[in-house]
Amino acid sequence: MNIKTLLSGIQKTSHTFDVTGLSLNTQNLQKGDIFVAIKGTQKHGSEFVQNAIDKGCIAILVEDKDIRCSVPSIRINHLSSYLSDLAQTFYKDAKNIKLIGVTGTNGKTSVSLFIAQLLEVLNVKTGVIGTLGISHSDQQTSNTTPDIFTIYKSLQDYSKKGSVFSCLNTKQIVRIGFRSGYFYQPNTRSFGLPWNHGTISES
């Protein structure tokens, strides 16, 4: 996808080159990806620009600051607020997957796997994204909820492989269209509500 198409509706750019993927993390960045450097809780993604370049990124999108490097860099103010727009624009086929979200204190992975197994029994091809990784994929996840680009890429891959549903176990609801959602709380008196969800209605 051309960078002008990717950024349409977000910011105009004089650059013109094709992007093969989006990455927030240099650990899973592929050659030809664009590295999206946003503000983190402790560090700014711009600190990892050289690592991204060394791994073959084609350009950098940078949040709220100008940088100089050996590949094109584009400053976008409040870049974090556009992550969902970027993902939806680039990974268009992700929307074909019917997404089921499972959240709660404990048991998210088990419930996700149970749902997927039940759907598979009905001959409905289903993927699972969560703590144990991304099913039908070599990708690994270090957190319960992968970053938004990883989620969208996985959903697009599922779509291309003919999957219909995907179960996502998530600590926090990401900006993505869920077909249905399940709050799993095995013992609210013992565990209390999870720190992400003040009440069940907020989940």
Q: What is the pLDDT of residues 104-119, one digit of tens each?
A: 767 777 888 888 889 9
Total number of domains constituting the chain = 2
Using the predicted structure, report yes or no on whether residue 192 has a pLDDT greater than 80: no
The gap from C-alpha 105 to its chain's centroid, in whole angstroms, comes to 21
Residue 185: CATH number of its domain: 3.40.1190.10
Q: Examine the domain organization and report whether 99 and 184 are in the same domain.
A: yes
Residue 55: burial class (beta carbons within 10 Å; 0-12, 13-18, 19+): middle
Contact 21, 15 (CB under 8 A): no
pLDDT at 99: 84
Q: Which domain holds residue 156?
A: 92-196
Q: Rounded to the nearest 5°, which phi and psi values hold at 52?
A: -65, -40
Q: Examine the domain organization and report whether 81 and 98 are in the same domain.
A: no
Separation CA 165–CA 146 (nearest Å): 17
Q: Examine the domain organization and report whether 54 and 104 are in the same domain.
A: no
Q: Examine the domain organization and report whether 173 and 121 are in the same domain.
A: yes
Residue 141 CB-half CA count within 13 A: 23
pLDDT digits (tens, 9 = 90+) for 144-184: 568 889 889 999 999 998 888 888 876 545 556 555 555 55
Q: Examine the domain organization and report whether 52 and 29 are in the same domain.
A: yes
- In the sheet with 133-134, reading across from the earlier edge strand, the strands are 133-134, 126-130, 165-169, 98-104, 178-184
Q: Pick the last residue of a domain from 30, 62, 90.
A: 90
Contact 87, 64 (CB under 8 A): no
Q: Which residues are registered as beta bridge partners of 101?
A: 168, 181
Q: Examine the domain organization and report whether 62 and 111 are in the same domain.
A: no
Separation CA 9–CA 190 (nearest Å): 48
Q: Which residue has the tokens 């891959």?
A: 157
**Which residues are within 8 A (CB) of 195 and not within 5 positions of it... i.e. 6 or more apart?**
none
C-alpha closest to that of 32 among 6, 5, 7, 59: 59
pLDDT at 189: 47
Separation CA 22–CA 16 (nearest Å): 16
Res. 141 pLDDT band, cuts 50 70 90: low
Q: Examine the domain organization and report whether 96 and 192 are in the same domain.
A: yes
Q: Examine the domain organization and report whether 110 and 80 are in the same domain.
A: no
Q: Report the interhelical angle of 83-90 vs 148-160 (nearest 10°).
A: 20
Q: Examine the domain organization and report whether 65 and 112 are in the same domain.
A: no
Q: Examine the domain organization and report whether 79 and 35 are in the same domain.
A: yes
Q: Examine the domain organization and report whether 136 and 155 are in the same domain.
A: yes
pLDDT digits (tens, 9 = 90+) for 15-60: 999 999 999 999 989 999 999 999 998 999 999 999 999 999 999 9
Q: Examine the domain organization and report whether 114 and 63 are in the same domain.
A: no
Q: Is residue 203 part of a domain?
A: no
Q: Which residue has the tokens 């992550």?
A: 83
Q: Is residue 146 part of a domain?
A: yes
Tokens (6 digits) for 10: 């977000």
Look at strands 59-63 and 98-104 and give their pairing. unpaired
